[in-house]
Structure 1
Amino acid sequence: MGTDISGFIEYRTSEGGKEAAWYVAHDLDSLNDTRNYDAFGCLFGVRNYANFRPLAAHRGLPGDVSAALGARFAQLAEWYGGDGFHGHTWITWGEVKAVDWEERAEKPDKRLHQYHETPQGRRMMGKSGWSPAFAKAVGLTKGEEREWPEGSEWLVGDVLYRSVVLRRKDAVTATGEWQPVWRAMGDLAERHGDDNVRLVVWFDD
């Protein structure tokens, strides 16, 4: 079973002289409903196979969530009994703006990257946490995990396996599924300020 992300973008403002409060602006599903474990790990430390230093992991739900978000989460908890929800956390637009997207993960990806050699050059096929063919070729026992130095390569049949260290921009690309989220947060921040806009998320399996 896979892991999916849910959440809301909130902004904080005061109206009519009242104390500043948080309000829901967007449901995350309307902007990004893609299951991308590299991004989940890079941003929030969930399914962090790529070994990033997470930007905003294990913070929990904010104590001052908006009324709409609080009601929605309570409704979900009632429907599902809270089972499967995990990784509750949040990140402000100010923190997103400060990210060094060139920053490398702390260790090589736990999954070896797989490539085929084609007349047009090397083409990536995917990533594998376990490959019987590779395990047999290098003498791994079933379920055994090993950390391979960056750049290590093995040609097994017609598949090249390589140990790779990702950068943040590989996980959260400049043209990928997170850009609508960043644009929405940036637009709100122009009116309310960088630290008055945040993304609140949680995960379910």
Structure 2
Amino acid sequence: MGTDIYGYIEARHPRADEDWYDGDVWAVSMPLYPLYDGRDYESFGCLFGVRNRLGWTPVAAGRGLPVDASESVRTDYEDCVRIDAAIHSCAWVSWAELRDLDMTVRPAARGVLDVHSGPGSSISRYRVDDQWPENVVEEYGIPPLGASPVEAPKGSWEVSGATLEYGPVTRLDALGPGTGWEHVFGVMQALALRFGPGGVRLVVWFD
């Protein structure tokens, strides 16, 4: 079964630390959907350690629900947990953390190999370490990039109607333009102009 992500962007009231303030400290600004409606495991692993098949050092894994989560977020999360036993990996990350990410960071994997077997077919992605994936070699032969991926350059080629592409992956590939996360980050960045970088966060969970 696939893994889906759910969550909300929250903002912290700029006067929450003042003695007279008695309102909610955090409030929902926007749900994650429809800003992000994908199921990209590279980003899930990169940010939260979920489906981390490439061996990222996650940005914000296993943090749980914030103790000061807004009432609406807490209620939705607890309802989801009560209804669906598969809910897992609740976490949160601030805009200050996302803003300062080094987007050149790479996972433990040497690279990824994408196989597009033909028109209308989905792309199969393989983790590549020090050897080419055995089943890919069996079906398509040794890549023209070399017998070993250790010294292999980035490249693409075609075999028997299939297109294969190999290359390293960085955080920019997982989270940058075209991934859908740029919309989430854009909203968080705009909210930070009002609430500050540490006053905007994303709270998520998975099933």
TM bucket normalised to smaller: 0.7 to 0.9
Code of the aligned partner of 1:149: V
**Equivalent of residue 99 in structure 1, options 88, 97, 101:** 101
**Equivalent of residue 75 in structure 2, options 71, 76, 79:** 71
1:201 partnered with 2:199 = no
Is the deviation greater in 12-21 or in 63-72? 12-21
1:88 equivalent in structure 2: 90
**Equivalent of residue 30 in structure 1, options 19, 30, 34:** 34
Question: Does the Cα contact within 8 Å between 2:27 and 2:70 map onto a contact in 1?
Answer: yes
Question: Does the Cα contact within 8 Å between 1:12 and 1:22 map onto a contact in 2?
Answer: yes
Alignment of 1:3-152 (within 5 A): 3-13=3-13, 14=15, 17-18=21-22, 21-80=25-84, 83-109=85-111, 112-114=113-115, 126-128=124-126, 132=135, 134-135=137-138, 149=150, 151=152
TM-superposed deviation, 1:173: 1.9
1:169 partnered with 2:172 = yes
Counterpart CA distance in 2 for 1:133 and 1:19 is 58
Counterpart CA distance in 2 for 1:92 and 1:68 is 18
Question: Does the Cα contact within 8 Å between 1:93 and 1:194 map onto a contact in 2?
Answer: yes
- Secondary structure of the equivalent of 1:184? helix
Structure 1, unpaired ranges of 5+: 117-124, 139-146
Is the deviation greater in 13-22 or in 41-50? 13-22
RMSD: 3.2
Q: TM-score, normalised by structure 2?
A: 0.76
Counterpart CA distance in 2 for 1:133 and 1:77 is 39
Counterpart CA distance in 2 for 1:157 and 1:184 is 42
1:120 equivalent in structure 2: none
Counterpart CA distance in 1 for 2:57 and 2:168 is 12
Counterpart CA distance in 2 for 1:60 and 1:74 is 12
Question: Does the Cα contact within 8 Å between 2:7 and 2:204 map onto a contact in 1?
Answer: yes
Structure 2, unpaired ranges of 5+: 118-122, 128-132, 142-147
Code of the aligned partner of 1:112: L
The alignment of Structure 1 onto Structure 2 pairs a total of residues equal to 187
CA separation of 1:114 and 1:149: change in aligned 2, threshold 3 A:
farther
Code of the aligned partner of 2:4: D
Q: TM-score, normalised by structure 1?
A: 0.76
1:2 partnered with 2:5 = no
CA separation of 1:30 and 1:133: change in aligned 2, threshold 3 A:
closer
After superposition, give the CA deviation of every residue in 1:21-64 in whole Å (9 maximum; x if it has no partner). 11111111121111111111111111112222111111111111
